[in-house]
Amino acid sequence: MTTMAERTHTTSGSAPEAASSTKTLTLGKAVNEGLRAAMRHDDKVMLMGEDIGPLGGVFRVTDGLQAEFGEQRVVDTPLAESGIVGTAIGLAMRGYRPVCEIQFDGFVFPAFNQITTQLAKMHNRTRGAVSVPVVIRIPYGGGIGAVEHHSESPEALFAHTAGLRVVSPSSPQDAYTMIQEAIACPDPVVFFEPKGRYWTKGPVDLDAPVGSATLNSAHVVRAGTDVTLVAYGPSVETAVKTADALAAEGRSAEVLDLRAVSPIDTAAVVASVRKTGRCIVIHEAPVFFGAGAEIAARVTEECFYALEAPVLRVGGFHTPYPVAKHEREYLPSVDRVLDAVDRAFAH
């Protein structure tokens, strides 16, 4: 994975030092490197989407991939999301592993029928005879000052549909590993990328083993004893900042990154809440009928006698996503999460 120029030169007689495989990357670049690694590993992996070739996509996540792998494997498609996903389903049935890019979250709905009616049900419809290993990459969430239909969080709509895996990385390392695991997965995966965190930098081990652990398992970002903050995707950073603020107040918060919205790693959530006795769920999507409601219900069922307070949710409001100048009031903030924690401790 490293070039000769990147290797450490040593003097004669000294032992050579191994070149480090850990690089500092943005989350967007980590997805790019993960796609590149998957395409090098398996020539059946191909990318499809609008402007993903020479332009490299709106967020440049596919930058340089068409130049390396050619137009047959990095396909610039017409502006037709239903056609992109429908074609990917057919390719997957013929043995390919297509990765579709949806330019923005709000543009996925023309393909909603293909995803929820065809892609999600094909394996069950054929009683397991046909697998459709398609990945749908969707930049989602707010915080970038975009116009209408460019800042939505529709993950609950897909998580409600049986047959789909719904995941979202929060760090560059997870982005790099999880996109490869999603591509290798035999199930269709809706891969939500937090566009507001595309420029977040972090260490990425390019030689990290790729299995299924990050795709299936929640991750304790910070251990704590007094309250569990459950988050995923863009809200993990908010949870960590809230934990910092609580630490200054003498309260210990455990931050749990779900990674997957469907299936939920219920065991990890339950273990954390049984330890802390309190649970706050954070996501950018509207709280009404959101992923937090499912988590709250499961925690209440499994941790009823361990809970010191009701499970509370902090998220978007039951309104269309607002114009850019008001989105900071809409998105979950540290202050809003701190308020929920105060209410949990008031019981």
pLDDT tens for 53-102 read 999 999 999 999 999 999 999 999 999 999 999 999 999 999 999 999 99
- Quote the pLDDT of residue 76: 97
Using alpha carbons only, what angle is made at residue 222 by residues 235 and 294, rounded to the nearest 5 degrees?
Answer: 50
Per the prediction, the chain carries an average pLDDT of 93
Is residue 120 within 8 A of residue 161, CB to CB? The reply is: yes
Residue 239 lies in domain: 219-345
187, 317: one domain: no
Residue at which a domain ends, from 216, 244, 278: 216
Q: Are residues 98 and 171 in the same domain?
A: yes
Give the integer Cα–Cα distance in Å for 122 and 101: 21
Check whether residue 61 and residue 206 sit in a common domain: yes
Looking at the fold, whether 83 and 188 belong to one and the same domain comes out as yes
Whether residue 205 sits in one domain with residue 251: no
Average pLDDT over residues 218-242: 98
Question: Are residues 317 and 233 both part of a single domain?
Answer: yes
pLDDT at 10: 37
Strand order in the sheet with 74-76: 74-76, 45-49, 97-101, 135-140, 189-194, 165-167, 260-262
Residue 246 has pLDDT above 50, yes or no: yes
Tell me: do 273 and 326 sit in the same domain: yes
Together in a domain, 212 and 229:
no
- Which range (212-216, 231-235, 314-318) has the least confidence? 212-216
Percent of the chain with pLDDT over 90: 91
Closest CA to 320 of 152, 204, 203: 152
154 and 295 fall within a common domain = no
pLDDT at 212 over 90: no
The maximal CA–CA distance of the chain, rounded, in angstroms, is 69
Q: Identify which of 135, 200, 171 has the alpha carbon closest to the alpha carbon of residue 258.
A: 171
92: CATH: 3.40.50.970
Residues 191 and 245 in one domain: no
Does residue 7 fall inside a structural domain?
Answer: no
Q: Which of 123, 150, 219, 283 is catalytic?
A: 150
pLDDT above 60: residue 227: yes
pTM of the shown model: 0.92
Distance of alpha carbon 175 from its chain centroid, rounded?
A: 7
pLDDT given for residue 210 in this prediction: 87
**Parallel, antiparallel or unpaired: strands 219-222 and 45-49:** unpaired
Q: Is 70 helix (H, G, I), strand (E, B) or coil?
A: coil
Q: Which of 188, 216, 244 is the last residue of a domain?
A: 216
Query: Within this chain, do residues 179 and 37 fall inside the same structural domain, yes or no?
Result: yes
Q: Which tokens hold the place of 262? A: 């469907």
The answer to whether residue 341 sits within a structural domain is: yes
Query: Does 232 lie in the same domain as 169?
Result: no
pLDDT at 211: 80
Q: Is the pLDDT of residue 18 over 90?
A: no
**In this model, does residue 14 exceed pLDDT 50?**
no
- Give yes or no for residue 4 having a pLDDT over 90: no
Q: Judge whether 248 lies within some domain.
A: yes
Q: How many domains does the chain have?
A: 2
Whether 150 is catalytic: yes
